[in-house]
Copies of this chain bind each other. A is one copy, B any other.
Amino acid sequence: MALIVQKYGGTSVANLDRIRKVAKRIIRVYSAGNDVVVVLSAMAGVTDGLIQLAHQITNDPNRRELDVLLATGEQTTVSLLCIMLESMGCPAISLLGHQAEIVTDRAFGQARIVGIHATRIKELLTRRKIVAVAGFQGRDQQGNITTLGRGGSDTSAVALAAALKADVCEIYTDVDGVYTTDPNLCKDAKKLHKIAYDEMLEMASLGAKVLQIRSVEFAKKFNVPVHVRSSFKEEEGTMVVEEEEDMERLVVSSVAYSKDEARITLTRVPDRPGVASKIFTPVADAGIVVDMIIQNTRKGGLTDLTFTVPKHDYPRAMAIQKEVAKSIGAEQVLGDEHIAKVSVIGVGMRSHSGVAAKTFSSLANENINIMMISTSEIKISCVIEEKYTELAVRVLHQAFGLDSP
């Protein structure tokens, strides 16, 4: 008998029929004697609909109030699930973020969980209740409703699993696990049986949309085994777990890609102390996150400086840099929205050399030019022209033997 936290995403609870299927799955696990805590997202499309509604009023809705509005989405699904479970004869109770005492900081719209007081949930489990917790939401110290940002229900689930010391946190989604790369893009992609937290972290930050990155951070920090699987199928998915020795046999475990960034270059920047700060401080002040940065020294004390930003921040970032260029005396500001970032990831890199060389040569063989490179202990990312994305992914996937079991 185990304590299992299950999280169901928006497509899994998109209508009453699907909620009924979810309820049946829960009852099966519960009836086998397990304690079950369920975390739900809003029905697919609901959160976006509410955001649009608020934006019909103003482009910049008050963040505290927007969170109050968005929190209704998960409130709806947990109550419907509990009505469903109760109608099937199963004792269930819903808890909203504040009732589950999911305490966060006050960063409305992107709050971070600072603690969970799980006493009430534990007591309810002792009484053999199925506890359905509204995902994506919490409360700050003053009792204001907060939300955790896109994909926040993953984090709610893993944080609850950590607080409850659950045996496993199952993330039910519309894909049946984590793949060596995007199966839509590469038909030879293989489902991974197991993956290390660090690899999943890199994948999440490099474009794979399976799990919210913060949920993986939580899982790693508290060593919560996470099982990513499909709510539409019975088969097992992918376990995200602590790094194990046999994982290193595979040098690269996956290939990720992202088309969500754009590139900005300032040419002939006078290379003086403090100039980087003048370039990046106004970007940071505007809340724009810079990913990769490259600086090439040129003769005459002038340098070219290139960096990437999220595509949706690109127009604002360009406007800022045009002002910056004037004030620091740079020649011009060049921008490119048509780029992609492809990455190879694997904890095996820690003990294997030659991964970078193989990556670069594989791309070169296809005449794909690498514009920027960024590396960590377990990943190599290359920025390339967007039109080569699919080709690059397939080439790298094959080069590291991910297409053969």
Residues of A in contact with B (beta carbons under 8 Å apart):
16, 53-54, 56-58, 60-62, 64-66, 68-69, 71-72, 75-76, 78-80, 82-84, 86-87, 92-94, 96, 98-99, 143-145
Contacts and interface: CB of A to CB of B under 8 A. Distances in A.
Contacts of A62: 82-83, 86-87, 92
A66 B83 contact: yes
Most buried by B among A61, A62, A82, A83: A83
Nearest to A60: B87
A80 B57 contact: yes
Nearest to A67: B79
Nearest to A93: B64
| Interface SS majority for chain A | helix
Most buried by B among A16, A61, A80: A80
A337 to B, nearest CB: 31
A64 B95 CA distance: 11
Q: How many copies of this chain?
A: 2
A94 B145 CA distance: 10
Nearest to A143: B99
B58 A69 contact: no
Nearest to A23: B57
B66 A79 contact: yes
Contacts of A94: 65, 68
Contact of A57 (B66, B75, B87, B93): B87
A280 to B, nearest CB: 31
Contacts of A66: 79, 83
Contacts of A16: 53, 56-57
Nearest to A62: B86
Contacts of A72: 72, 75-76
Given A93-B64, A98-B98, A99-B143, A57 B69 contact: no
A99 B99 CA distance: 12
A16 B99 CA distance: 30
Contact of A69 (B56, B68, B83): B83
B75 A71 contact: yes
Given A72-B75, A75-B75, A65 B53 contact: no
A68 B57 contact: no
A-B residue pairs, 9 tightest by C-beta: A58-B87, A69-B79, A68-B79, A62-B86, A72-B72, A65-B82, A61-B83, A65-B79, A65-B83
Contacts of A64: 82, 93
A101 to B, nearest CB: 10
A69 B74 CA distance: 10
A57 B19 CA distance: 10
A75 B76 CA distance: 11
B69 A76 contact: yes
Given A16-B56, A68-B82, A72-B76, 19 more contacts: A16-B53, A54-B80, A57-B83, A58-B86, A58-B87, A61-B87, A62-B82, A62-B83, A62-B86, A62-B87, A62-B92, A64-B93, A65-B86, A68-B78, A68-B79, A69-B83, A72-B75, A75-B75, A99-B143
A89 to B, nearest CB: 11
A255 B371 CA distance: 84
Contacts of A60: 87
A76 B64 CA distance: 13
A299 B143 CA distance: 69
Contacts of A84: 57-58
A18 to B, nearest CB: 13
Given A68-B75, A72-B72, A80 B53 contact: yes
Nearest to A72: B72
30 contacts: A16-B56, A16-B57, A53-B80, A54-B80, A58-B84, A58-B87, A61-B83, A61-B86, A61-B87, A62-B82, A62-B83, A62-B86, A62-B87, A62-B92, A64-B82, A64-B93, A65-B79, A65-B80, A65-B83, A65-B92, A65-B94, A66-B79, A68-B78, A68-B82, A69-B75, A69-B79, A69-B83, A71-B75, A72-B72, A99-B144
